[in-house]
Structure 1
Amino acid sequence: MSTVSTVTLTQSNPAEIAAGILQQARERARRERLSYAGVVHPEDAWALVSSGTAILVDVRSAEELKFVGHVPNAGHAAWQIGTPLAPNPDFLADLERAASAKDQVILLLCRSGKRSAAAARAATAAGYISVFSVLEGFEGDLGTGSQRGSVNGWRHRGLPWVQD
């Protein structure tokens, strides 16, 4: 997977930072012909959430949130449910409860970025117009020994998270 360089956070205007991040994400979406608004790096996702520009919705299962950890105050709309990770028939209803409007900037987070991309496609098809997938996900790509968390991802980058 290719990477996107993050927008520098040395700018003094949070609105400019947010606009730059979203513009970069939308440009990448056009280049890669994504059917949803775009993709953002974890640090950029946190900048958007911290500035109040976007909401973060975790699309992992309830079990993953409980046993692996989660971002404080993130919404939850599981793309798949249970330990077999079966499709969640209530995903769109759950997303509607997590997001206040279909035109709100919504950042979807999963384990590694694959489910959040699928969920972003489904949300866009359902009329959400500004849905982004968080690259690398919460745990990141597999590293040595086929384990996650040592290469990239939300936790690896030192962004806020908690474990119940």
Structure 2
Amino acid sequence: MDDAIAAVLGRAQGRAREGAYGYCGSLTPAEAWAVMEARPQAKLVDIRAWQECALVGHVPGAFEIEFRRFPDWTPAPEFVAEVSARLARGDLILLLGRTTGRADEAGRVLAGEGFRQVYIVLEGFEGEADAEGRRIVNGWRQAGLPWYQT
């Protein structure tokens, strides 16, 4: 691993220590993209409900595995089983939600299930809302990172 990516992951791990996350760390969208480019074996898991992805957009190459279900946001009972079927416990996993909340929760769940390299993407796909409720403040899309709409 090159020094720049080691530094990025070190910052992410420092955030985890400060916040007592229970998983490895948290990355900004730009940091997550840098890790993905430098470490092609890293797995981006988009945990949004399929309706969110369909309406708002997808990230190319991401594993789309729902953590909670729309409209009542109940936990998806097969979440851990689906992640386990697609990814190994030692894989470098980056979790992307709408914002940060569900990714944090999913990160804690996966870490509790023995996944050892779990990071979340801060701000999520859409990011925080501005004063008018528009999600244009930050996030994956606002960072200009790859995404598409179907």
| TM-score normalised by length of structure 2 | 0.94
In 1, the alpha carbon distance for the partners of 2:63 and 2:4 equals 23
Aligned residue number for residue 9 of structure 1: none
Shift of 1:114: 0.7
In 2, the alpha carbon distance for the partners of 1:76 and 1:95 equals 10
> 1:73-152 to 2 correspondence within 5 Å?
73-99=61-87, 101-148=88-135, 150-152=136-138
**In 2 relative to 1, CA 97–17 (structure 1 residues): closer, same or farther, beyond 3 Å?**
farther
Aligned residue number for residue 148 of structure 2: 162
Describe the superposition over 1:24-52 as per-residue Cα deviations: whole angstroms up to 9, x where unpaired: 11122112211111100000101111221
Q: Which amino acid aligns with 1:89?
A: P
3-state SS in 2 of match to 1:144? coil
Is the contact between residue 111 and residue 138 of structure 1 (CA under 8 Å) also seen in structure 2? yes
In 2, the alpha carbon distance for the partners of 1:98 and 1:78 equals 13
Shift of 1:109: 0.1
In 2, the alpha carbon distance for the partners of 1:33 and 1:131 equals 14
Equivalenced residues, count? 149
Shift of 1:90: 0.4
Aligned residue number for residue 55 of structure 2: 67
Unaligned runs of 5+ in 2: none
In 1, the alpha carbon distance for the partners of 2:37 and 2:21 equals 26
Describe the superposition over 1:114-135 as per-residue Cα deviations: whole angstroms up to 9, x where unpaired: 1000000000000001101100
3-state SS in 2 of match to 1:146? coil
Q: Which amino acid aligns with 2:137?
A: V
What is the Cα-based RMSD across aligned positions, in Å? 1.3
Unaligned runs of 5+ in 1: 1-13
1:38 and 2:25 aligned: yes
| TM-score normalised by length of structure 1 | 0.86
3-state SS in 2 of match to 1:131? strand
Q: Which amino acid aligns with 1:111?
A: R
